[in-house]
Amino acid sequence: QQQVKQSPQSLIVQKGGISIINCAYENTAFDYFPWYQQFPGKGPALLIAIRPDVSEKKEGRFTISFNKSAKQFSLHIMDSQPGDSATYFCAATVSGSARQLTFGSGTQLTVLP
Amino acid sequence: DAGVIQSPRHEVTEMGQEVTLRCKPISGHDYLFWYRQTMMRGLELLIYFNNNVPIDDSGMPEDRFSAKMPNASFSTLKIQPSEPRDSAVYFCASSRQGAGNTEAFFGQGTRLTVV
């Protein structure tokens, strides 16, 4: 019930291409879905987040698409750059609760120059 | 603010030894989380505190693990005795209670190697 399933485990994209990472959840009580970006040797950092009252949120080259009925959400990175190479984690939580994030398993993105 | 500060950054210890990891959360944050990251299991929540009180320690793997938060600016995660399977990166994170976005700020982690 608490799991967040993330795919793919790893992704290789050419510079300028689109990177797409998918996540699915089961707990319908989740109402806040952040994505975290982690560079080697660093802790995860919040990249972008969405609430289920909207189907899409865009910040620069990063877009979250949300499908409430399917209980799925995805991260799209447009015009992918080598500097985007990192591990990306989706997460979910119930806002107003104890802020306990349930993380996906992570996707290691490599953007080739 | 300097962010969440963890120490040490790297720790190498022998099996059976006691290990203590330290965390200073962001000032004003009232939630503190300890996570463990491994290739096999990803990011696992071990325990979290609210206003220095442990709320949920169901993620703590064994009695060998213990965590304390004696005040709002300091927390420790202790492993005694340590075992090779405890080798992982341990992250501390903090967040602030209130309406609005739920952002957890992570420290840079402590890479623990038990040999």
Over range A16-25, report the average pLDDT.
Answer: 97
* Closest CA in chain B for residue A95: B102
Does pLDDT of A59 surpass 60? yes
How confident is the model at residue A98, as a pLDDT?
55
Give me the pLDDT at residue B39, please. 87
Percent above pLDDT 70 for chain A:
95
Taking CA atoms, B17 is separated from B12, B13, B37, B115, in Å, by: 10, 7, 21, 10
* Secondary structure E strands in chain A: 4-7, 10-14, 19-25, 33-38, 45-50, 56-59, 62-67, 72-77, 86-92, 102-103, 107-112
Between A47 and A99, the higher pLDDT residue = A47
Q: Is any Cβ of chain A less than 8 angstroms from the Cβ of B54?
A: no
If pLDDT is split at 50, 70 and 90, which confidence band does A96 have?
A: low
The answer to whether residues B7 and B22 touch, using CB atoms and an 8 Å cutoff, is yes
Q: Which residues contact A94 (CB under 8 A, 6 or more apart)?
A: A27, A29, A30, A31, A32
Question: What is the average pLDDT across A40-69?
Answer: 93
CB B102 within 8 A of CB B46: no
Rounded-to-integer distance, Cα B13 and Cα B114, Å: 5
Please answer yes or no on whether A96 and B108 come within 8 Å at the CB atom.
Answer: no
Going by pLDDT thresholds of 50, 70 and 90, the confidence category of residue A10 is very high
| pLDDT of res. B40 | 86
Residue A94 pLDDT grade (very low, low, confident, very high; cuts 50, 70, 90): confident
Best of B33, B97, B102 to disrupt the A interface (most A CBs within 10 Å) is: B102
Average pLDDT on A26-31 reads 90
With contact defined as beta carbons under 8 Å apart, do A2 and A63 qualify?
no
pLDDT score of A101: 85
CB contact under 8 A, A100 and B45: yes
> Going residue by residue through chain B (115 aa), what tens digit of pLDDT does each one get?
689 999 999 999 999 999 999 999 999 998 999 999 998 888 999 999 999 999 989 999 889 999 999 999 999 999 999 999 999 999 999 988 765 556 889 999 999 999 9
Nearest of A93, A101, A85, A105 to residue A5 by alpha carbon: A105
B13 touches chain A (CB under 8 A): no
Question: What is the pLDDT at residue B104?
Answer: 87
Give the number of C-alpha atoms closer than 13 A to the C-alpha of residue A78, restricted to the C-beta side: 8
From the number of C-beta atoms within 10 Å of its C-beta (0-12, 13-18, 19+), residue B110 rates as buried
Cβ atoms B114, B83 nearer than 8 A: yes
CA B109 to chain centre: 8
Which residues in chain B are closer than 8 Å to A106, comparing Cβ atoms?
Answer: 42-43
